[in-house]
Amino acid sequence: MNLARSLLPLAALALMTGYGFAQSPAAPAPAAAKPAVAAPAQTQAGPGKKIAIGAADKSARSKDCSAQADQKGLHGKARKRFRDDCKRH
């Protein structure tokens, strides 16, 4: 009984202060206007280096590889293998 009497004020205090409730995150600060940056062009990279390609370039390359696979009449695993190789080169 003593334990319940000592915990009751703590529980009331926690409810009044909002402790234990999820607080909404602070509103993000307005982002400064960034100048438009073009997607990085492909550059020659050394061995083991990855080349940065923009999303639009990836999409165009993927569609081109799909069209080539369609022309060759590839399906299934052969098509997947061809497209993977095509997109890498």
Q: Tens of pLDDT along 8-20?
A: 777 777 777 665 5
pLDDT at 69: 95
pLDDT band at residue 74 using 50, 70 and 90 as cut-offs: very high
Instruction: Please state which of the ranges 18-27, 53-62, 64-73 shows the lowest mean pLDDT.
Output: 18-27
Task: Render pLDDT for 25-57 as a digit per residue (tens, 0 to 9).
Answer: 666 666 655 555 555 555 555 566 666 678 888
Dihedral-angle region of residue 40 (phi above 0 means left; psi in -120 to 50 means alpha; beta otherwise): beta
Specify the length of the chain in residues.
89
The token pair that represents 78 in the structure block: 């052969």
pLDDT of 23 above 60: no
